[in-house]
């Protein structure tokens, strides 16, 4: 089914109108549409797309708490609430970095406020999510290299063996995945991960892509403390998960996406964050 035919099908079946192409990604074509007199987002998925399906499970679970609402969905498309306001990164660009971090903490708190047993079906556990790091660490060990990947994988194994306050996680919280809306600041594009809620702080501390901020050790520690305080989390675990995540992301880009332009820059970006955090890691 072509994208054009797919679009027309959903316009008809879901009673949508006025489609305007917003963007195209590796996983979807994204349009604004009119739905029940309001603007919504229609995301047409690529064939066999699985990450977006996990994201839909997460959005149904969040049910609008800190995230955009999933209005309609099937295997081929998602219809989403439209957060029409500015991205959160605009606050950072205005010099309100710590304020932006407090807003992120409030969004995470809402996401994690769903207290019933989190679903597992259709989601990926953190143990599997960290697979690329464990694979890279195993290769380095076999090569006799005591690398940062080996050290971070060892720490990740200990963290994941003793997970606390397991929740459905967003899995990709950062300053461009949160927008202002009529209901306040809302996040979108969750990855559909389930595990310790501390993990949702990690990606935040590696963002936004401004070296003078992210690669600044005092800023990193200050914002980690803000998140830990506002979310009632253990600061050493926030730092530990961020360290492990930074090495995980570096291993993703090094092994899975190596052919993409700019991949090595992203690897080095995250290794720099990990190197800043490593002296502050408390081993237990």
pLDDT, one tens digit per residue, over 19-29 is 999 999 888 89
Measure the CA–CA gap between 43 and 32, rounded to whole angstroms. Answer: 9
pLDDT value, residue 50:
75
Residue 284 to residue 271: CA distance in whole angstroms? 22
pLDDT of residue 77: 94
Q: How far is CA 175 from CA 60, 106, 258, in A?
A: 22, 13, 25
Residues 63 and 159 in one domain: no
Please tell me the distance from the alpha carbon of residue 43 to that of residue 35, in angstroms, as a whole number: 13
Q: What's the pLDDT tens digit per position in 177-190? A: 999 999 999 999 99
CA-CA distance, 43 to 27, in Å (whole number)?
Answer: 9
Q: For the segment 148-158, what is each residue's pLDDT rounded down to a tens digit?
A: 999 999 999 99
What pLDDT sits at residue 196?
96
Note the pLDDT of residue 1.
Answer: 36
112 and 214 belong to one structural domain: yes
What is the total count of domains within the chain?
Answer: 2
Residue 104 sits in the same domain as residue 192? yes
3-state SS class at 137? helix
75 and 171 fall within a common domain: no
Query: What is the bridge-based pairing of β-strands 193-196 and 124-125?
Result: parallel
Domain edge (last residue) among 57, 81, 105? 81
Q: Is the pLDDT of residue 33 over 50?
A: yes
Rounded-to-integer distance, Cα 51 and Cα 260, Å: 19
Distance CA 219, CA 233 (A): 18
Query: Same domain, yes or no, for 13 and 140?
Result: no
The answer to whether residues 208 and 263 belong to one domain is: yes
Q: Do 104 and 184 have their domain in common?
A: yes
As a 3-state breakdown, the chain gives helix, strand, coil percent values, each rounded to 5, of: 50, 20, 30
- Residues 6+ positions from 2 with CB-CB distance below 8 Å: none
- Reported residue count of the chain is 284
Which of 114-118, 145-149, 213-217, 277-281 is least confident? 114-118
Distance CA 273, CA 268 (A): 9
Mean pLDDT within 200-225: 95
- Both tokens assigned to 38: 């309001």
101 touches 223 (CB < 8 A): yes
- Number of CB atoms found within 10 A of residue 283's CB: 9
pLDDT at 48 over 80: no
State the CATH number of the domain containing residue 139. Answer: 3.90.1200.10
């Amino acid at each position: 089914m072509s994208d054009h035919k797919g679009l027309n099908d959903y316009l008809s079946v879901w009673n949508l109108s006025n489609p305007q192409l917003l963007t195209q990604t590796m996983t979807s074509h994204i349009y604004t549409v009119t739905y029940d007199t309001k603007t919504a987002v229609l995301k047409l998925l690529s064939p066999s797309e699985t990450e977006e399906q996990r994201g839909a499970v997460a959005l149904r679970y969040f049910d609008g708490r800190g995230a955009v609402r999933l209005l309609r969905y099937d295997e081929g498309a998602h219809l989403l609430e439209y957060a029409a306001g500015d991205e959160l990164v605009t606050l950072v660009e205005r010099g309100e970095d710590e304020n932006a971090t407090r807003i992120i903490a409030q969004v995470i708190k809402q996401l994690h406020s769903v207290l019933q047993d989190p679903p597992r079906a259709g989601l990926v556990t953190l143990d599997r999510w960290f697979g690329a790091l464990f694979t890279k660490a195993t290769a380095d060990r076999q090569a006799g290299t005591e690398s940062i990947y080996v050290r971070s994988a060892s720490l990740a194994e200990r963290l994941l063996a003793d997970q606390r306050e397991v929740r459905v996680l967003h899995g990709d919280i950062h300053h461009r995945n949160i927008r202002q809306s009529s209901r306040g600041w809302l996040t979108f594009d969750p990855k559909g991960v389930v595990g310790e809620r501390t993990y949702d702080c990690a990606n935040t501390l590696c963002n936004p892509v401004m070296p003078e901020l992210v690669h600044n050790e005092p800023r990193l520690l200050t914002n980690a403390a803000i998140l830990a305080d506002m979310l009632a989390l253990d600061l050493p675990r926030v730092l530990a998960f961020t360290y492990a995540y930074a090495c995980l992301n570096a291993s993703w880009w090094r092994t899975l996406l190596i052919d993409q332009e700019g991949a090595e820059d992203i690897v080095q970006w995250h290794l720099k964050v990990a190197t800043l955090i490593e002296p502050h890691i408390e081993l237990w």
